[in-house]
A and B are shown apart, each in its own frame.
Chain A
Amino acid sequence: MTALDDRPAIPAEAPRRRPNRVLALLRNSWRQLTSMRTALVLLFLLAVAAIPGSVLPQRGVNPEKVDQYFVDHPELAPQLDRIGAFEVFGSVWFSAIYLLLFTSLIGCIVPRLRDHARAVRSRPPAAPKRLERLPQHAVLPAPDAAPADPEAIAAMLRRRRWRVEVRGNEVSAEKGYLKETGNLLFHTSLIAVLVGVALGSWYGWHGNRLLVAGAENEFCNTRQQYSEAKLGARVDSADLPRFCLTLDGFDARFLPSGQPESYRASVTVDKLDGPKRAADFSVNSPLRLGSANVYLLGHGYAPILRYTDRYGRSQTSTVPFLTTGDTNLTSEGVAAFPDANVDPKTGQRPADQQVAFEGLYLPTAPDAAPFVSSKYPAERNPAVVLVAYRGNLGLDAGIPGSVYQLDQRQVTNGKLKQVGDRKLSPGEKWILDDGSSLEFLGTKPYVTLAVRYAPGQTMMLGACVLLLVGLMGSLFGRRRRVWFRVTSADPDGGSPTGGSSLVEAGGLPRTEHPGFAVEFAHLLAALGGDGRADGRAGAAREGVE
C-alpha cells in the first residue's frame, strides 16, 4: 500500500534506470502469484486443507460431536482447537489459501481475457511464404468445374464456420477460438463459484428448530427461538426476516416394512404484515418464504403428560421425545416438573421434592415385555415406558444443560432417586407412592426444521453449469489455421486466364490435434481435389494413417 502511495513521487523516467525495490518486489510477487504453477499448488493445498474439515467434527455442522471429541481426546482436542481444526472452513489459514487462489485466478485470467478479446477481433494472419513447410500441405490443380477463385474458397470455408480473410490471391482462415473461450469461461465460472460461496457465508444464515404441533408451540424467526443458529458475518440478528410458523399437522406414511413413504407438514405462516396463510411442504420441496427456505429434516412424537402433585395441583406438559435413530421411531426423553409439590399453605419449595419422568416413547409397543423398542413407526399401539425420579433435578444451580435428558450427576450423587417405573398407554394413570399421579393423555407430532437463507445458491448453480460448458470447450476445442494460395499453373507466368490454375494449401494446428490431417483432407476434397495430401508433407508428418 505504501509503495502505491509513493508512486506519484517517482519521476516518470526513473523506474527504468533505478528500479524501485519495493515495486520490483511487488511486481515479482505478483508474477509468481499469478503463475499457473502457484495456482495449481494453491488448489492442491486447498484440497489438503479440506481434509481435516471432513475427518474431524465441525462446530458449524455438529457442535455435539465436537464436544464429544473434547471428552474423548482431552489432550489433543485443545491443541486442535487452537489451530481452528474444528472450524476449518472459517479458519484464517483456510481463508488465506482460498483468497490467494482467488487473487491468483483473477491475476491470471484478466490478462488472458484481454489477449483473447484481441485475438477474436483480429483477422487471420497472412499466409506464410512457403506453405510446404507447414505440417499439412497440398498442391492441387483446380479442375474446370471447381473454384479456383479465392472468393469461392473463402465461401466454402465460411460455410464450414471458419473465420476467413481474403488477401489478393491468398485465403487465410482460422478456427477453434472455442478452446480459449471455454478455458476462460471455466476460470471465470470458478471465480463466480467462489463469489457465490463468499456471498453465502457473508449474507446467509440458518437455524435449526424442533416444532411441536399446536398454536401454543408456535415459533417466530428470531435467534432466541433456535436451539442452534449460525448467522453469516454480515448478517445482524435484527435483520432476520420476520415471520412466525405454526405446525398444524403432520402426515407420515410408511410402507408395511416401516420404511417411510412420504412426509407432509402443514403449517400456518404469519408474516406479521398481512393475513396468515396455510402451506404444505415435504422433504424434497421446502417451504419457500422468499426471505428464507424451511426444510423438513425429521419428525417424531411429543407425549402429553399431566402430573398431579401430592397437593392436587396439575401441570400438563407436552414434551418432544427425540428419536434414537431406529426406523420404528423408538424415542427417548424426559418430562421434568421442577416446580411441583410446592406447599400451597406455606409456599415452601422443598428442593428434594422435584419430579421428573425419564424413558421411552414407543409409537407401536410390543404386546409383551420387554418394552424397549417400537415395532412400527406409526402409532398403532402407543405407550410411554417411564422411570419416575424424585429429588433435586439440579436445574436451579443455573448450569445450562440439555432439556432432553436428566442431569446424571444428580442421580450419581444420590440427590435424585428413582421411585418406580411403569408403562402407560394413552388415558392410563399411574399413582405414585406419595399419592401424586401421572397421566399419559396422548401425543402431538413434531417436526425438526432447518430454516435457511443461502443467497449465493442460484449463482453457484449457474456458475457450475457454465463451468462444465467451459470445460467441454476447453477440452474439445482446437485452434487451427489453413491457408490457400491460388496460382497460375504455368510456372513461366503465362496468361492466368488462359491456362488452368493451381491451388496450394497449407494447414497448421495450433494445439495437439490428431484429427487435423483428416479435416485438412476434407477441405481439399471440398475444393474438388482428391483429398490426398502430397507426398512431401502432410498426413505422414502428423503421424496419423
Chain B
Amino acid sequence: MRSRRPIAALLAAVTAVTALVGCSSGSEESRCATDGGIISCAPDQRSAPPKIAGELLTGGGYDLSTARGQVVVVNFWGSWCAPCRAEADDLEATYQATKGSGVTFLGINIQDNKDKAVAFEEGRVSYPSLFDPASRLALALDIPPNTIPATVVLDRDGRIATVIRAAIKQDGLQPIVERIAAEQPAPNGSR
C-alpha cells in the first residue's frame, strides 16, 4: 500500500503540469486555424478591428477606418528585404485584379530609410504605404505579423481574417482575398 503514495504524487505532478500547460492558450491566434504559415480566422472568431493610421511615405496622413466596408490587404515590407521585393509585383497584380470587388491595399514600410522606400515604390506599386520604421502599427494587431514580409487581410468590418507570415505569390493571395471579399457584399459606390 505504501507504493500508492508516490504514484499519487506523480499523478498530482502530471495534473499540475497539464494545468500549467493548458492555462495560457487563450491567445487570439490559437482561436484561428494555421496551415502552412497562413493563419485563417473564421468570421465568428475574429477580434475587434485594429486601429491603423499614420503618415504616408509620400506625405500626408492616412487612417484605415476610412476604408471600412472594403477588404484591406495590409502588407509589411522593406526595400532592403529581398523576399519583399520579389513579391511586390504579385501584390500589385492581385490589387489590380481585385480592386473592382471592393478590395483595397495598404503597404506598411518598416525598418527602412524613407528615400529608399519611396524609390522602391515608384512605378512598382500603385497603392499607398505608411511609413512605420519602428513597427508601431504591428503592435495594434492581435495576431502580430512577426515576419517581414508579412501580409494581413482585414475583412469588410476591419477585423483580421488572415495573416500570412511569409512571402506570397498572386496565385496564393488572390483566392484568399476573393474568399474574404465574398463574405459580405461590397458597399455601394466602391471602386
Give chain A's interface residues, CB within 8 Å of chain B.
4, 23, 26-27, 30-31, 34, 103, 106-107, 110-111, 202, 216-225, 234, 236-240, 242, 244, 272, 313-318, 336-340, 342, 347, 349, 394-401, 403
Contact = CB atoms under 8 A, between A and B. Distances in A.
Nearest to A395: B82
A220 B21 CA distance: 28
A224 B79 contact: no
B116 A30 contact: no
A27 B5 CA distance: 10
A107 B6 contact: yes
A416 B109 CA distance: 27
B128 interface: no
12 contacts: A107-B6, A111-B6, A217-B133, A220-B136, A221-B139, A224-B147, A234-B24, A239-B27, A317-B116, A337-B116, A396-B82, A398-B82
Nearest to B147: A224
Q: Pick the most buried of B9, B11, B144: most chain A CB atoms within 10 A of its CB.
A: B144
A222 B82 contact: no
B134 A218 contact: yes
Interface of B: 3, 6-7, 9-11, 13, 20-21, 24, 27-30, 76, 79-83, 85-87, 110-111, 113-116, 119-120, 122-123, 133-136, 138-139, 142-148, 150, 167
A106 B9 contact: yes
Contacts of B27: 236, 238-239
A303 to B, nearest CB: 13
B160 to A, nearest CB: 11
Given A220-B139, A315-B115, A398 B167 contact: yes
A420 to B, nearest CB: 22
A397 B145 CA distance: 23
Nearest to B115: A315
Contact of A224 (B13, B80, B146): B146
A222 B13 contact: no
A220 B132 CA distance: 10
Nearest to A107: B6
B7 A30 contact: yes
Given A237-B146, A238-B144, A338-B120, A225 B110 contact: yes
A306 to B, nearest CB: 9
A513 B167 CA distance: 72
A339 B116 contact: yes
A221 B133 CA distance: 12
Contacts of A394: 82
B7 A347 contact: no
Contact of B135 (A222, A236, A238, A395): A222
Contacts of B24: 234, 236
B3 A225 contact: no
Given A4-B11, A336-B80, A244 B134 contact: yes
A219 B85 CA distance: 22
A393 to B, nearest CB: 9
A313 B118 CA distance: 11
A23 B4 CA distance: 9
Given A234-B21, A315-B115, A401-B82, A224 B110 contact: yes
Nearest to A216: B133
A224 B136 CA distance: 10
Nearest to A114: B5
B6 A30 contact: yes
A339 B120 contact: yes
Contacts of A239: 27
B91 to A, nearest CB: 13
Contacts of A238: 27-29, 142-144
A222 B81 contact: no
Contacts of A218: 133-134
Contacts of B122: 339, 342, 347
Given A30-B3, A225-B138, 16 more contacts: A26-B7, A27-B3, A30-B7, A31-B3, A220-B138, A223-B146, A224-B135, A236-B24, A242-B139, A336-B80, A339-B79, A347-B123, A395-B82, A396-B85, A398-B82, A398-B167
